[in-house]
Amino acid sequence: MGIARSGVPVEPLRRVVGIDEYAGQWVAVKDGRVVASAPHARDLVVLVQDMGQDGADATVEFVAPPSDSFMVGVG
């Protein structure tokens, strides 16, 4: 038997409005909106650093194209 898990359920992240237009790119998200985008993560880091305080605490993510699929927990 497995171990029962208890605790506070984790809320799913809300999808940023308009993020689909950045498919195939890396984006920096802050306060629920995309503040910068670039085709490569390294380029995005430079853009966010150049933003100074406006880019501080932004979350970076890759926006996968709709045709890409991922399989999790199979094996």
What are the tokens at 1?
Answer: 């038997």
Q: How confident is the model at residue 69 (pLDDT cuts 50, 70, 90)?
A: low
Span 13-61, pLDDT tens digits: 778 888 999 999 999 999 999 999 999 999 999 999 999 999 999 999 9
State how far the Cα of 21 lies from the Cα of 17, in Å rounded to an integer.
10
**Tokens read off for 54:** 């406006």
Q: Where in the chain are the domains?
A: 19-62
Q: Whole-model pTM above 0.75?
A: no
Tokens of 71: 């399989």
Top pLDDT among 5 and 60 is at 60
